[in-house]
Amino acid sequence: MAGHHSSSSSSSPSVLSFKCLLVLTAAFMASALPTEAGLGHGEQEADRVYQLPGQPEVKFRQYAGYVTVNETHGRALFYWFFEATEKPQDKPLLLWLNGGPGCSSIGYGQSEELGPFFPQKDQAKLKFNRYTWNKAANLLFLESPVGVGFSYTNTSSDIGQLGDTITAKDSYAFLVNWFRRFPQFKSHAFYIAGESYAGHYVPQLSELILDSHKKVSKEDYINLKGLMIGNSLLDDDTDQRGMIDYAWDHAVISDHLYRDIKATCDFSLEQLTTTCNGNLNKYFAVYKIIDMYSLYTPKCVNSNFSSNARQRSVIDGVAPRLLSKFAGWHQRPAGYDPCASDYTEVYFNRPDVQEAMHANVTKIPYPWTHCNNNITSWADAPASILPIIRKLIRGGLRVWVYSGDTDGRIPVTATRYTLRKLGLDIVQDWTPWYSNQQVGGWTVDYDGLTFVTVRGAGHQVPTFAPKRSLQLVKHFLANEKLPSGPF
């Protein structure tokens, strides 16, 4: 086209008219941009990701980059944002958080669970996930806290002071600043979802937002409507008891070991006895030979990564306060392709990928990993999140809890104990829900909370049940019950 234009030495009236029309159209489009965008529009454009190496063609826009959450310390969190596949202006905004603590929402959530792009064994290509959650919402992934993934701090002592409180405060600061950069989404219904240790992150961040409504300006008001957490750590006592009961009930441990644990371990205490510790070591030994996060799928055996890469450092002080002292608690989850995490790690350490994503701009002195093994202590972690859940329900937020029923890490048994402890009235008890002609799982409607099981899914539900997990999030966002019969 450029060559064709340059070959013309003069312009006809019709060409001039067309050029004038282009100029007028451009001026109109510029004036039509939201006036509230202001400075945010330029920052948005700087974060625009046009094409990742090996990425399939898509029609939706994506953005990635850093948002500073503490100027003094030089703390910045990395995000990756995908507009909805259709009509993003009409769709809600959903923030997804993975847990760990210390694990990446981009590594797990985006790349192996519910995002649009999955790295493949052939590292040159990304696969489009046809059950991506940005078919239901504008989808935002955050690497939090600092030290996770590409997120960084210029104050090295920050890593030793991490905990639930600082994670929530930094994530809240991120959201306030992100909405200033993307003001066109400020009025959208906003939801937070996550899994595992995000059973702490999601309610704690939701509580901060709820509390902020009493004091923030209209400009920084966040239109939070609800939260959804899966296979989530919510209460130390019930989560720990539930792990043991589930393991026995699913033929993972022997009758003898089960009786010994029940006789010697009291998970409501501050400390376990030596005899209990010995029995729990036998319990965790079983999960060295099968996948704790998905009982019935294979482990990765043909990995180029050392087997130690599957084991994380023990994090002192993190919830649950008793079982987290065992090395076996800190294994990393693996996906349905049990080596999927290997492909992700290779992909995000490519310099061309990092450049396209505006990542690692400070040249972090360690490779990108799913979980940061430099995080070895955790400053604060309440033994129970249930008081916050009650507060969020009272605050009028929609609360859904879901559980893949083949997860041994935070099993459905534990979550059922936890919800019973919450003490809510049951509106509609154990009811099957359907995905087309098949039972997808069961639901319990409590007064103020919906519980959903996902049949045959492990710890990372969207990995194991992608179609049903998209159905789940669509119904959550629409505040609709899952279908109670075949369709």
Cite the active site residues: 196, 407, 459
What dihedral angle (degrees, nearest 10) is formed by the CA atoms of 13, 14, 17, 19? -110
Amino acid at 306: S
Residue 482's SS3 state is: coil
Q: Is 13 exposed, middle or buried (0-12, 13-18, 19+ CB in 10 A)?
A: exposed
Which phi and psi (to 5°) does residue 293 adopt?
A: -80, -15
Which pair of tokens denotes residue 366?
A: 């360690």
Q: Are strands 117-119 and 224-230 parallel, antiparallel or unpaired?
A: unpaired
Q: Are strands 93-97 and 190-195 parallel, antiparallel or unpaired?
A: parallel
CA distance 79 to 98: 13
Q: Is 193 exposed, middle or buried (0-12, 13-18, 19+ CB in 10 A)?
A: buried
CA distance 437 to 487: 6
Cβ neighbors of 335 (< 8 A, separation 6 or more) are 112, 113, 341, 460, 463
Amino acid at 99: G
CA distance 148 to 348: 13
Residue with tokens 């899952």: 482
Q: Is 118 exposed, middle or buried (0-12, 13-18, 19+ CB in 10 A)?
A: buried
In order, the DSSP letters of 405-455 are: TT-SSS-HHHHHHHHHHHTPPEEEEEEEEEETTEEEEEEEEETTEEEEEET
